[in-house]
């Protein structure tokens, strides 16, 4: 199905064939994509507001609404076929260290197939984010990360908007509130909650919702926020990020730095794969080495600094190319441990084809984590059951995710008891607060997210390859308006991918700039753009050519 969709999108993209524009001619129609209003009202609203402001600059802007699977496929797999899109980076535990965001989103090496899907390239930024990776002194690393944020603020490769206040709700008559964990920068929708939540009565299933469909249940594919909830429960990692944002041993019983480039990890005894076979140090070695190959492009950046991996009994020794401040968080707490006996033949077969690990779906996904896979009904639900033999077994019996594209329907299901944990709500959070007053069974928790919402610019395609044009479009948008109108105040405005939830690393200074239509028009005028007949035109001497 994925390949058919990609083919359809490529054919659709063929209508945007090479076309040359005369010097100083009118800028072509700009397309901005968003998910549907019923599924993502906040995104739909801020995209509409942004399109409205851009039209005031003399741009012809079309809003394209499409379901998540289609939008994600267009943006990720057809990287030169789109203009700009509403997007989000969700708060994941391993993102409590800023390296994953500041390096993998913007380093030029990740542009062909990795996280840098916008195609941004700046040698100064590359050098800065490379330097922060190997700087182990926190104060010096902070300086480098501040510099990186300043470079991005100057270039505006994306239009940063807000860090949402992630707001979730649960039925406190079903789950003991004292056992629900509020993880810093993420909120209560996290692995620690799903393991520790204790039932108060006969209902022992965590039943939650998502507005997005599942793209894949695959330990080697970071396919979306909702999918990641599932992979974190089925597959273990050597370390996990604790509620305090710090890495802690998980599948690893312990770890010890031998020197600044060598770390020894001791694997827990007695771990078993869900098919009954033992988890070994060789499985761990295979998991990291698999990510080094071309068949696992999304995880490759997280293992690129590993020089060698050796095993001795239940000990695994990682030798690094360079010292790295983020290795515990961005590598050991990032990679899923996968069974060699299942994935070795799969990856060997994929190496002979054009496909990679992202195209493969196990019929029954096998991990070693606290929950086991039971079933996946496309467009409806995913069911997991507690792995009672796990070293940290869940208190719940099952974890049931229901696909509910409509936010109002999700609220109705929470009130009726069809779900008991509202894990995805992009509507007005005040609705939830009103519900608490009406229904004493509910509890709402709101947390500033380390994730963020933004509009991605395709830096590969003109006019978005011009940083002055991108800056003008960014300056046109009043973030306070977005916070109030689209997020109803449940967000904090930001011009950085590093959230204020990560206080030490967040450069507040990059938020200090003026916005508005007049500011944007003035910037465009200084950059040579002109308005003729109400339409924005390129500077003299500029001719646009769109690639096939």
Q: What is the pLDDT of residues 168-193, one digit of tens each?
A: 999 999 999 999 999 989 999 999 99
Cβ atoms 55, 532 nearer than 8 A? no
**10 Å Cβ neighbour count for 123?**
8
CA distance 435 to 548: 52
Bridge partner list, 272: 278
pLDDT at residue 17, rounded to an integer: 36
Stated as kind and residue range, the H or E segment containing 310 is: strand 306-312
Q: Of 415, 376, 10, 383, nearest to 215 (Cα)?
A: 376
pLDDT at residue 21, rounded to an integer: 46
Contacts of 418 (CB under 8 A, 6+ apart): 207, 402, 412
pLDDT at residue 418, rounded to an integer: 97
| pLDDT at 2 exceeding the cut of 60 | no
What's the average model confidence in pLDDT over 363-376? 98
246: pLDDT confidence band, cut at 50, 70 and 90? confident
pLDDT at residue 3, rounded to an integer: 40
| pTM to 2 decimal places | 0.76
169-224+365-444 architecture in CATH?
3-Layer(aba) Sandwich (3.40)
SS3 180: coil
CA distance 284 to 255: 14
pLDDT at residue 50, rounded to an integer: 98
Instruction: Answer positive or negative: Cα dihedral of 389, 395, 397, 400.
Output: negative
| pLDDT at 101 exceeding the cut of 60 | yes
**What does the DSSP 8-state code read for residue 379?**
T
CA distance 292 to 347: 12
Q: Where are the domains of the chain?
A: 169-224+365-444, 239-346
| pLDDT at 18 exceeding the cut of 70 | no
Q: What is the pLDDT of residues 283-319, one digit of tens each?
A: 999 999 999 999 999 899 899 999 999 999 999 999 9
Stated as kind and residue range, the H or E segment containing 456 is: strand 452-457
pLDDT at residue 138, rounded to an integer: 87
pLDDT at residue 426, rounded to an integer: 80
What's the average model confidence in pLDDT over 216-235? 93
| pLDDT at 15 exceeding the cut of 50 | no
Question: Which whole-number Å values give the CA distances from 339 to 278, 284, 336, 467, in the listed order?
Answer: 9, 8, 10, 45
Extract the tokens encoding 517.
């239509």
pLDDT at residue 235, rounded to an integer: 98
pLDDT at residue 547, rounded to an integer: 58
pLDDT at residue 11, rounded to an integer: 34
What's the average model confidence in pLDDT over 206-213? 94
What's the average model confidence in pLDDT over 137-157? 96
What's the average model confidence in pLDDT over 325-348? 95
439: pLDDT confidence band, cut at 50, 70 and 90? confident
What's the average model confidence in pLDDT over 521-543? 93
What's the average model confidence in pLDDT over 472-477? 98
**Percent of the chain having pLDDT more than 70?**
95
pLDDT at residue 20, rounded to an integer: 43
CA distance 100 to 451: 12
- The pLDDT mean for the chain works out to 92
Instruction: Answer positive or negative: Cα dihedral of 69, 71, 75, 77.
Output: positive
What's the average model confidence in pLDDT over 94-117? 92
| pLDDT at 356 exceeding the cut of 70 | yes
pLDDT at residue 13, rounded to an integer: 37
Give the residue, 12 or 249, on which the prediction is more confident.
249
Q: What do you get for the CA distance between the two ends of the chain, in Å? A: 24
pLDDT at residue 457, rounded to an integer: 98
What's the average model confidence in pLDDT over 113-127? 96
Return the CATH number of the domain spanning residue range 239-346. Answer: 3.90.76.10
> In terms of C-beta density within 10 A (0-12 exposed, 13-18 middle, 19 or more buried), how is residue 106 classed?
buried
pLDDT at residue 252, rounded to an integer: 98
Q: Of 323, 254, 271, 321, nearest to 292 (Cα)?
A: 321
**What b/e readout covers 329-363, taking b as 16+ CB neighbours within 10 angstroms?**
bbbbbbbbbbbbebbeebbeebeeeeebbbebeee
Q: Of 300, 318, 316, 294, nearest to 308 (Cα)?
A: 318
23: pLDDT confidence band, cut at 50, 70 and 90? low
Q: What is the pLDDT of residues 41-80, one digit of tens each?
A: 999 999 999 999 999 999 999 999 999 999 999 999 999 9
pLDDT at residue 540, rounded to an integer: 87
Q: What is the pLDDT of residues 385-437, one digit of tens each?
A: 999 999 999 999 999 999 999 888 999 999 999 999 999 988 788 888 888 88
What's the average model confidence in pLDDT over 22-32? 85
Q: Determine how β-strand 30-34 pairs with β-strand 84-89.
A: parallel
**10 Å Cβ neighbour count for 257?**
12
Cβ atoms 275, 408 nearer than 8 A? no
């Amino acid at each position: 199905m994925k390949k058919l969709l990609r083919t359809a999108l490529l054919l659709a993209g063929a209508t945007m064939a090479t076309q040359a524009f005369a010097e100083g001619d009118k800028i072509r129609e700009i397309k901005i994509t968003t998910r549907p209003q019923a599924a993502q009202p906040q995104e739909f609203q801020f995209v509409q507001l942004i399109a409205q402001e851009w039209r005031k600059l003399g741009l012809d802007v079309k809003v394209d609404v499409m379901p998540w699977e289609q939008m994600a496929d267009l943006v990720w797999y057809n990287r030169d076929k789109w203009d700009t899109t509403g997007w989000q980076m969700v708060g994941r535990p391993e993102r409590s260290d800023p390296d994953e965001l500041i390096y993998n989103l913007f380093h030029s090496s990740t542009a062909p197939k990795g996280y840098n899907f916008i195609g941004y390239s700046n040698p100064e930024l590359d050098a800065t984010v490379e330097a922060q990776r190997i700087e182990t002194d926190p104060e010096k690393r902070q300086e480098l990360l501040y510099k990186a944020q300043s470079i991005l603020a100057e270039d505006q490769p994306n239009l940063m908007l807000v860090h949402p206040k992630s707001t979730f709700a649960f039925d406190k008559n079903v789950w003991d509130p004292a056992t629900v964990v509020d993880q810093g920068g993420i909120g209560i929708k996290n692995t620690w909650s799903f393991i520790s939540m204790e039932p108060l009565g006969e209902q022992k299933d965590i039943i939650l919702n998502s507005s997005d469909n599942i793209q894949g249940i695959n330990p080697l594919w970071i396919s979306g926020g909702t999918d990641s909830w599932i992979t974190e429960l089925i597959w273990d990692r050597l370390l996990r990020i604790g509620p305090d944002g710090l890495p802690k041993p998980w599948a690893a019983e312990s770890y010890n730095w031998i020197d600044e480039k060598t770390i020894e990890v001791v694997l827990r005894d007695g771990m078993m794969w869900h098919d009954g076979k033992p988890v070994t140090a060789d499985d761990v070695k295979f998991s990291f080495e698999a990510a080094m190959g071309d068949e696992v492009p999304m995880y490759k950046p997280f293992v690129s600094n590993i020089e060698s991996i050796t095993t001795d009994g239940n000990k695994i020794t990682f030798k690094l190319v360079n010292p790295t401040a983020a290795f515990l968080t961005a590598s050991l707490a990032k990679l899923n441990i996968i069974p060699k006996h299942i994935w070795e033949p799969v990856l060997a077969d994929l190496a002979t084809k054009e496909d990679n690990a992202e195209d493969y779906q196990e019929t029954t996904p096998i991990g070693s984590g606290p929950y086991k896979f039971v079933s996946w009904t496309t467009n409806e639900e995913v069911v997991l059951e507690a792995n009672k033999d796990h070293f940290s077994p869940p208190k719940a019996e099952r974890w049931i995710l229901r696909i509910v594209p409509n936010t109002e329907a999700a609220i109705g299901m929470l009130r009726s008891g069809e779900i008991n944990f509202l894990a995805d709500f992009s509507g007005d959070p005040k609705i939830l607060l009103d519900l608490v007053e009406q229904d004493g069974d509910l509890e709402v928790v709101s947390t500033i997210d380390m994730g963020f919402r933004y509009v991605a610019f395709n830096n590969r395609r003109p006019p978005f390859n011009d940083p002055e044009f991108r800056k003008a479009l960014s300056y046109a948008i009043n973030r306070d308006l977005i916070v109030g109108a689209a997020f109803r105040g449940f967000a904090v405005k930001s011009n950085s991918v590093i959230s204020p939830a990560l206080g030490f690393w967040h450069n507040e200074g990059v938020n200090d700039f003026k916005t508005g239509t007049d500011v944007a028009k003035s910037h465009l005028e200084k950059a040579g753009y002109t308005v003729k007949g109400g339409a924005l035109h390129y500077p003299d001497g500029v001719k646009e050519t769109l690639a096939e």
